[in-house]
Amino acid sequence: MPGWEIINDEEKKALVNLFNEGGIFFAHGFDNFRKKYHVREFETNSRNKFKSKFAVAVTSGTAAIKIALKAIGVKRGDEVITQGFNFIATIEAILDIGAIPIITNVDKSLNMSTIDLKKLITKKTKAIIPVHMLGVPAEMDEINKIAKKYKLRILEDNCEAVGGMYKNKYLGSIGDVGVASYDFSKTITCGEGGMIFTNNKKIFKYCKEYHDHGHENNPKLKRGEDSRSIVGFNYRMTELQAVVGKVQLKKIDFILKENKKRYLEIEKVLKKKYELRRIPKNSKIIYDTFIFFEKNKLKRNQIVKLLNKTKFGTKNLPDAIKWHCAYYWDHALPKQQINRVKKTNDLLKASIAIPISLKKNIKQYQDLANKILKISK
């Protein structure tokens, strides 16, 4: 369930307060005209919540991936391995720095197949981007093992599983670097926005400086007189976004708790009949999407029709498959890679994803699940 569903007076009040405190929308400077630094607070609250040593707020999840790739040393011509069930943003970020995206198939967890990952490593491979798709963690132990063996960096794309855990560690804090998205369709939102997490001080320093034109933000120097050592760019988050983000962050536990209640009701019914998406052991999912497989096309169409008619809708599968499966990205990937992920496309085509919404109550999900069960009989 996306955070936009529960935007209310709290976010509104935070914005009004920002105006009352001086109306400074910029994250830095203007020290005499402001009472608070909200982007900095949002970063501090985020790293405390998700147990990372460092956090850097940026303009989007896509920007976060690009900056993080540069920070872990990915250069023009390097290969970066990611997965066929994904969002186009990950591929765009890799291409934008002149690196080469290499795409694995996914297994029935709908995340990176670690068997396929091993097959695709070459001398040029520099990093792996596992994506915790639709609320479920990737097999991080296995991916870590492989990365260690071949000396590869790991960037966790955690844009779709904020608040999820693997072996009691928050997603995004396990690899060398992790990213979250706070765009308007995500678990928590500030309209547009992203966050980079890391426990590595060097990676943090690079991200901090690169996203802000190279400013080192030396506390002893005034902003305009500040020192610099690298060429950067502008991917800064505004105070407007950060005040909303701070409120949304406080709501994450509530969101996950409410998701879970609804998710478990569907699961109780549909597991009797269906093969469900595989959930890796020791993981805490965020329960925002319920996914099951129906191989029979006729029945599948009937179920999708029911979901649309009853206004539950579907999430990405099947409605937005073309934005989430690399099989369709012939504008960005060579033919050979497209053909390799046909397997992923076949698996995704047999999947149905039910979005969990807080605007619908538990009874409505029970009724829905029972109606789906009837179709399958």
Ligand X SMILES: *Cc1c(COP(=O)(O)O)cnc(C)c1O
Residues 88, 42: contact at Cβ < 8 Å?
no
- Selected binder of ligand X within 2, 3, 61, 84 (CB under 6 A): 61
- Selected binder of ligand X within 27, 54, 56, 62 (CB under 6 A): 62
Piece of the chain touching ligand X by CB under 6 A; list 35-43, 152-160, 270-278, 306-314: 152-160
- Selected binder of ligand X within 160, 209, 212, 288 (CB under 6 A): 160
Cα–Cα distance measured from residue 26 to residue 324, given in angstroms and rounded to the nearest whole number: 34
CB of 81 to ligand X, least distance (A): 15
Cβ proximity to ligand X, 89 vs 372, nearer residue: 89
- Rg of the chain over Cα atoms, rounded to whole angstroms, equals 21
- Host H or E run for residue 342: helix 342-349
CB of 254 to ligand X, least distance (A): 22
SS3 assignment, position 291? strand
Cα–Cα distance measured from residue 88 to residue 111, given in angstroms and rounded to the nearest whole number: 15
Decide the pairing of beta strands 54-58 and 194-198: antiparallel
Sign of the C-alpha dihedral, residues 61, 63, 68, 69? Answer: positive
For residue 210, state whether it binds ligand X (rule: CB under 6 A): no
Among the listed residues 275, 271, 289, 63, the one whose alpha carbon sits nearest the alpha carbon of residue 179: 63
- Determine the residue with CB nearest ligand X: 61
- Selected binder of ligand X within 117, 131, 243, 369 (CB under 6 A): 131
For residue 321, state whether it binds ligand X (rule: CB under 6 A): no
Residue count at the site for ligand X (CB under 6 A)?
Answer: 14
Cα–Cα distance measured from residue 63 to residue 26, given in angstroms and rounded to the nearest whole number: 18
Piece of the chain touching ligand X by CB under 6 A; list 56-64, 241-249, 267-275, 367-375: 56-64
CB of 279 to ligand X, least distance (A): 18
CB of 114 to ligand X, least distance (A): 18
Piece of the chain touching ligand X by CB under 6 A; list 76-84, 154-162, 277-285, 331-339: 154-162
Which 82-101 residues touch ligand X, going by CB under 6 A? 86-87, 89-90
Catalytic residue among 186, 208, 251, 315: 186
Cβ proximity to ligand X, 14 vs 179, nearer residue: 179
**Angle value at C-alpha 318, between 134 and 84, nearest 5 degrees:** 55
For residue 159, state whether it binds ligand X (rule: CB under 6 A): yes
CB of 256 to ligand X, least distance (A): 17
Cα–Cα distance measured from residue 91 to residue 100, given in angstroms and rounded to the nearest whole number: 9
Tokens of 83: 């997965």
Which 163-202 residues touch ligand X, going by CB under 6 A? 181, 183, 194
Which are the contacts of 163, defined by CB distance < 8 A and separation ≥ 6? Answer: 50, 170, 187, 252, 253, 255, 256, 286
In the residue annotation, 148 being an active-site residue is answered as: no
Tell me, what amino acid is at 92? E
Residues 174, 129: contact at Cβ < 8 Å?
no
Q: Which residues bind ligand X (CB under 6 A)?
A: 60-62, 86-87, 89-90, 131, 157, 159-160, 181, 183, 194
The catalytic site residues sit at 186
